[in-house]
Every structure is written in structure tokens, then in C-alpha cells.
Amino acid sequence: MSSMWQLGGLTWKELAKRVWSEIQKDDVFGRSAQLSYYFLLALFPLLLFLTSVIGLIVGSGTGLRHSLFNYLSQVLPGSAFQLVDSTMYEISVASGGGKIAFGILAALWAASNGMGAIIDALNAAYGVRDSRTWWRRHLIAIELTIALSVVIISALVIVLYGGRIADHIAATYGLGHLFAITWKILQWPIVLAFMLLAFALIYYFAPDVRNQKWTWITPGAVIGVALWLLISFGFRLYLHFFDSYSKTYGSLGAVIVLMLWLYMTGAAILIGGEVNSEIENAAAKANAAGAKEKGEKAPHEKVKDGKAKNAKPAAA
């Protein structure tokens, strides 16, 4: 398969129709509701893991932890962020210094359960049954959780310290004020690239398919990130003008809003996976080399009852 950006020979309109059909067939929105439950259970352990690692690596006196919650507040709806912020404060107050090592490991284990739910959902998008052992699946979930944590912390470092680093480099090597200004502008596309990388890592390692070709930026990742940003800011704007959840649900309003945001986040991730899956499926039906049809773990290999069965090679 030469490039996913050839869309498997489909037009964007044809791809959109096929993806919508697969979304309904695979019950993406139902699975997104399941993901929101697992995300809720994994959210606080993930934030605890991130803040603990940041504290250990760069110290508690830096602005990285504050920056993490500052940018989280820009994406999350207001009431949901207040809930997350107050809960994390209560957890940090209750945590003892002697529990740091155990707490980090426990938080990592709990946070990886959310990634495990994504693995199951993406396997459904690719139409495959996961034949990996339990420990292998959980190891992949933990590795992906650590990788995403590294991506998030790296993006925060670029945002928080990028300007200072650019000023220092410009002053040291005489590059002038223009270099510093250019870097401060470019740091935002770089952060966006980190987000695309996070989605690409999930789509590459999570589903139980083989012979995957690594692509830094896939159509599914671009659409997934775009949908997530659009949904996040659109939902935030809606709640700013029409916040009726607190009136309807009272003190549970913040929880409902957070669950809805997690639900839409799960939908964005799964829709991106459906896009990549459908592109590869269309390419395989067009006899593209190395492409897999839906339900195949490797080219021309159908899987039934956990056992691989080689299909007849496609005509040249």
C-alpha cells in the first residue's frame, strides 16, 4: 500500500459514505459510551501519573503542572474542569510522600485500563478478534499510556519553555529577534504535530493487525484530531451560552458534562480508526500490495475463531 492519502482509490465523498456506514455497523457511538465509562475511571489515575512524573523529573516548583491544568481547562467544559481540578487537589492532599513510587505504578496500571478499552474498540473497527495474550495486551496498553504521557509532557515543555529556549539560542548565536518570534509561532504547529503523533501511535499499535506500515500523519489521525478539537471547543461554546445541565441534574451536572466530553472524545478516536480501516479495506479490494481487507490481520489472512486462515492471493 503506497500511501493512505490516496484513500484506497476512493474519493472523499465515497470514503465519507463508507465510514458512516461502518460507524453504524460497528456501533461506534455505543462503543463510545462504553469508552466514556472507562475513560472516567482512567482519567484521574492518568492525571495523577502525569503530575507525579512531572514532579519527579523537573520538580514541583516548575510551572509544568500548572500548565497541564491550564491547557486542560481550555479544552474541558468549565464545570467539568472544576470537578477534575477539585478532585485532583483532594487526591494530592491525601497522598503521602512515602507512597509516591507505589502511587505512580498504581496510577499507571489504572490509567492503562482506558487504553485497553480503546484497543478493544479499534479491534472492532478493523473487524478482528484480539488473539494476543492477556499480559501482552495489557503490556501494550501500559506502553501506549507511557508513550502518550511522554508526548503530553514534551508538548507542555515546548509550550512552557519554548520561548525561553528560542530567546537563549537567538542571543547565543546572534540569530536575531526574528528567530525567536518565528519559533514562538511555530511551537503551536509543533504541539499539533504531537497530537497527531499520539493518535498515530494509538492507530498503529492498538489493533491486533500485523504488517502495519508506519505513517506519521494518517487521514484517520487528522480527522480524529480535527473532530476532537471541534467537538471540545464547540461543546465548550455551547455550554457557555446554553448550560442547562446544572439546572437539570443539580450537583451531578459537572459529572454529566465530563462524561459527555469523554463520550465525544471516544467517538473522535474511533471515527479516526474507522477512516484508516476503510481506506485500507478499499486499497486491499483494489489489489494494492500489503493492504488488508476488514477482518484480516495480515494481507490475505482471514481470522476465524482465533485461528489464521490464508485466503487465496489476489490477482496481480
Per-position DSSP letters for 108-150, written without gaps between them: HHHHHHHHHHHHHHHHHHHT----S-HHHHHHHHHHHHHHHHH
Cβ–Cβ < 8 Å for 194, 260: no
Cβ–Cβ < 8 Å for 311, 301: yes
In the chain, where the domains are located: 4-310
Cβ–Cβ < 8 Å for 227, 272: yes
How far apart are the C-alpha atoms of 212 and 222, rounded to whole Å? Answer: 18
Q: What's the mean pLDDT when you consider all of the chain? A: 77
Cβ–Cβ < 8 Å for 8, 286: yes
- pLDDT by residue (tens digit) across 47-89? 777 777 666 655 555 556 666 677 677 667 777 778 777 777 6
- pLDDT by residue (tens digit) across 121-168? 899 888 888 888 888 988 998 888 888 888 877 777 776 666 676 777
Cβ–Cβ < 8 Å for 269, 200: no
Burial of residue 309 (number of CB atoms within 10 Å: 0-12, 13-18, 19+): exposed
- pLDDT by residue (tens digit) across 9-35? 889 999 999 999 999 998 899 989 988
Non-local CB neighbours of 150 within 8 Å, separated by 6+ positions: none
Q: What is the pLDDT of residue 315?
A: 42
81 SS3 class: helix
- Residue 301 identity (one-letter amino acid): E
Q: What is the pTM of this model?
A: 0.76
